[in-house]
Amino acid sequence: MRRAVYPGSFDPVTLGHLDIISRSSKMVDELVVGVLNNSSKNPLFSVEERVTMLEEVTRHLPNVTIRSFDGLLVDFARQCGARTVIRGLRAITDFEYELQMSQTNRIMCPELDTIFLTTDLRYAYLSSSTVREVGRYGGDLSAFVPQKILEQVYKKFREVQ
């Protein structure tokens, strides 16, 4: 069985993330989306909220499961029994960091390989931080986050105002 992990902050999940999830889920038997519980990053959404939103938007994908994790990605991948990490590449600016991360992970865990998927051009500009920035100023988020969680995301911005 080929199992892969797709790690990230997903604060919140965007259409770009969902595109990578649905494309990579077709390449493996099981895809575990790993939501990083990194409180030092001071996320807008709690890890539980991020997990729930991902569950809602991936409900139509039967081989996708959502889990949260703390600590090193290599340890999480081992716990999941995965030998493949999926990452998305948007632009050259992502490349340097991603290359360094994947090489570091291979030093720590030589059997772990990273597969990079190039972003769909429709979402090449999109990041969770853009969503947070636009949302904070009351902008329309319908082109950025999945329809199913749109209300929940607007609600969060109303709460933090």
32 binds ligand ADP (CB under 6 A): no
Has 148 been annotated as catalytic? no
Task: Annotate 147-158 with b (16+ C-beta within 10 A) or e (fewer).
Answer: eebeeebbebbe
Catalytic residue (one of 41, 122, 136, 155): 41
Q: How far apart are CA 151 and CA 28, in angstroms?
A: 31
How many CA atoms lie less than 13 Å away from 58 in the CB half-sphere? 28
In the shown chain, the binding pattern of residues 115 to 154 toward ligand ADP, with x for contact by CB under 6 A and - for none, equals ----x---x--xxxx-------------------------
Has 60 been annotated as catalytic? no
Has 90 been annotated as catalytic? yes
- Shortest Å distance, C-beta 118 to ligand ADP: 8
Catalytic residue (one of 3, 67, 90, 148): 90
* Dihedral (Cα; 89, 145, 26, 97), 10-degree rounding: 20
- Comparison of 63 and 118: residue with beta carbon closer to ligand ADP: 118
Q: Which helix (H) or strand (E) covers residue 18, if one does?
A: helix 15-25
Has 23 been annotated as catalytic? no
Q: Which helix (H) or strand (E) covers residue 102, if one does?
A: helix 92-108
- Comparison of 17 and 156: residue with beta carbon closer to ligand ADP: 17
Q: What one-character DSSP code corresponds to residue 119? A: P
Q: Rule CB under 6 A: which residues touch ligand ADP?
A: 8-10, 14, 16-17, 20, 87-88, 90, 94, 119, 123, 126-129
